Amino acid sequence: MNDMISGVLITIAVLSGVGVFAALLLYFVAQKFKIQEDPRIDMVSEVLPGANCGGCGFPGCRAFAEELIKADDISDMNCPAGGEGFMEKIAEMIGKEAIKSESKVAVVRCNGSCENRPKQNRYQGAVSCAVSVALYGGETGCFHGCRRVGDCVSVCRFDAIYVDTATELPVVIEKKCVACDACVKACPNNLLEIRKKGPKNRRIYITCMNTDKGAVARKACAVACIACGKCLKVCKFEAITIENNLAYIDDNKCRICRKCVEECPTNTIVEVNFPPKKRKQGES
């Protein structure tokens, strides 16, 4: 009996010794090969918005912080959720240089409301723009237009976009939008675009993505671009191009003179946050 007890005690002692040895070994190995993390990563992580929206191109704010510390050049890196001037503050914190970021906002490049683009049939499939585009031509004559379901709304983490009940088109709430690009990626017809807010939040852009020829596009939607070229002719800043039957305004070149808006025969070009133009004497 005593021999049995002694054997058990010896076994326990041996196993305990092996456990302690293994623990000590693992500790020393961990100390030998542990990676020292730069404390600035935590510092930057605390300053970042914590939205984890992916607008910076990384899976989360901490991953972005790690890349900011690791990269030698952060001039092309940006946190859209931080707002204007945010990257300059981050750069100052970590002793690097960043290019001054301009405020941007998402815009909807479709004005095909129920009035401008009447329904010809009714879609009864899955409640998804992506599914609608993949399997179905659409409720209207314009395949390129908004499907009016709201995939862009469902992916926005900032409640910055909603579908207007009257027009059935998405509307961006400028004050809430951080230009994270999520809605742009979600739209299967590429109808959302991130553009500069512009001076005094004024901007001009084309609300059409229909690449059909003029007559076909106009038949499908009253405000479709017909690629007539009138806007191109009046622009002195070479900000407008026409490709694949569709005009486009480059916000890097546009000087918001508004001449193209006046020339557009289909009211495809919109102007945002401008005061009404003063009427010339004699105009009604």
CATH number, domain at 44? 1.10.15.40
Rounded to whole angstroms, the Cα distance separating 143 from 141 reads 6
Q: Within 13 Å of residue 62, how many CA atoms lie on the same side as its CB?
A: 4
Q: Whole-angstrom Cα distance, residue 266 to residue 208?
A: 11
pLDDT at 128 exceeding the cut of 70: yes
Helix (H, G, I), strand (E, B) or coil at 249: strand
Same domain flag for 62 and 134: no
Question: Does 34 reside within a domain?
Answer: no
At 174, list the tokens. 């400028």
pLDDT in tens, 63-75: 999 999 888 888 8
Q: What is the DSSP letter of 80?
A: G
Please, is 40 exposed, middle or buried when counting C-beta atoms within 10 Å of its C-beta (0-12, 13-18, 19+)? middle
In this structure, which amino acid lies at residue 213? K
| pLDDT tens by residue, 167-226 | 999 999 999 999 999 999 999 999 999 999 999 999 999 999 999 999 999 999 999 999
- Greatest pairwise CA separation for the chain in angstroms: 121
Within this chain, do residues 62 and 113 fall inside the same structural domain, yes or no? no
Asked if 123 and 55 sit in the same domain, the reply is no
Rounded distance, CA 248 to CA 239, Å?
8
Helix (H, G, I), strand (E, B) or coil at 56: coil
Q: What is the pTM of this model?
A: 0.77
pLDDT over 70 (residue 33): no
268, HSE (Cβ side, Cα atoms, 13 Å): 28
Residue 166 lies in a domain: yes
pLDDT mean over 51-59: 86
270 φ, ψ (degrees, to nearest 5): -110, 150
Does one domain contain both 133 and 62? no
Hey, which bits of the chain come out as E strands? Answer: 104-108, 161-163, 170-172, 192-196, 203-206, 240-243, 246-249, 269-272
Q: Are residues 157 and 68 in the same domain?
A: no
Which tokens sit at 68? Answer: 């900011």
Q: Tell me whether residue 18 is in a domain.
A: no
Query: What pLDDT is attached to residue 30?
Result: 65
Could you tell me if residue 126 is inside a domain?
A: yes
Is there a domain that residue 267 lies in?
yes
Write the CATH number for 128.
3.30.70.20
User: Residue 35: its pLDDT value, please?
Assistant: 58
Would the pLDDT of 280 be above 60? no
| pLDDT of residue 284 exceeding 60 | no
pLDDT in tens, 83-98: 778 888 888 888 888 8
Between CA 224 and CA 153 the distance in angstroms is 24
Quote the number of domains for the chain: 2
- The Cα–Cα gap between 141 and 111 comes to 14
| Cα 268 versus chain centre, distance | 23
pLDDT at residue 18, rounded to an integer: 76
Q: Write out the residue range of the structural domain in which residue 123 sits.
A: 104-272
Which residues are paired to 206 by β-bridges? 269
Q: Which amino acid is at 255?
A: R
Residue 35 maps to a domain: no
Which residues contact residue 139 at a Cβ distance below 8 angstroms, ignoring those fewer than 6 apart?
119, 120, 121, 122, 123, 147, 148
Using alpha carbons only, give the angle 146, 147, 153 rounded to the nearest 5 degrees.
85
